[in-house]
Amino acid sequence: MLKRYRFARQTVRHLTAVNYGTFRGWVRHFLAQLEWVIGRLDRFVVVQPKSVKRLVFVCLGNINRSAFAEAVAGTLGAHACSLGLATTTGAPAFETAVTTAQRLGIDLLEHAATDLSDFSYRPGDLLLTMEIRHVHRLIENGIPAEAIALLGAWSNPRRLHLHDPALQSEDYFMTCFVLIHSATINLVGALRAGGSPCVRP
């Protein structure tokens, strides 16, 4: 019985690490799903394609998640950039981000981070965040709520909280990047179909 318990615990830990990064990542995912179910995230999971002129991907450091999303969007013909809420402008992509992106056919070697303080919002920007708390940070910094959306609303499967892969396993890096990859492809496809000026026809 004890062996079965230990095995089950190890299995749960492994699955959590691979799929959510950490237990905290799973908790934030669960809470995000709950907020979505009760309707608190409704305005952050839809876009108006014809009003979107530029995609701005947002995470904390702009060296993993948002850097990758920007690069994917670029390969799809979208006008895009990215930023970090607390980073050093000019910082390169994290090494594991570079190698994981390469496995998905995306090059991050030339990426340079941009801090929020060095970013200028302009009408037509759609800021796509990885986490709900990023939404709140942007609003606190004067970004209109209607210009913000959760990137994970377009991932397959839907993952409204895309937990930071920094310092996590290579397996979770891949999980996170695959979700971001699918979300970006689906979003750009929806924008193109909706006639958004931010995407080449």
Residues acting as catalytic residues: 59, 65, 164
DSSP string for 126-149: EEEESSHHHHHHHHHTT--GGGEE
Label residue 166 exposed, middle or buried (CB < 10 Å: 0-12, 13-18, 19+): middle
- Cα–Cα distance for residue pair 149/129, rounded to 1 Å: 6
Label residue 89 exposed, middle or buried (CB < 10 Å: 0-12, 13-18, 19+): middle
Q: Which helix (H) or strand (E) holds 12?
A: helix 2-20
- Cα–Cα distance for residue pair 143/132, rounded to 1 Å: 14
Q: Which helix (H) or strand (E) holds 84?
A: strand 80-84
- Cα–Cα distance for residue pair 124/181, rounded to 1 Å: 23
Q: Where are the alpha helices (DSSP H) in 54-169?
A: 65-75, 95-103, 132-140
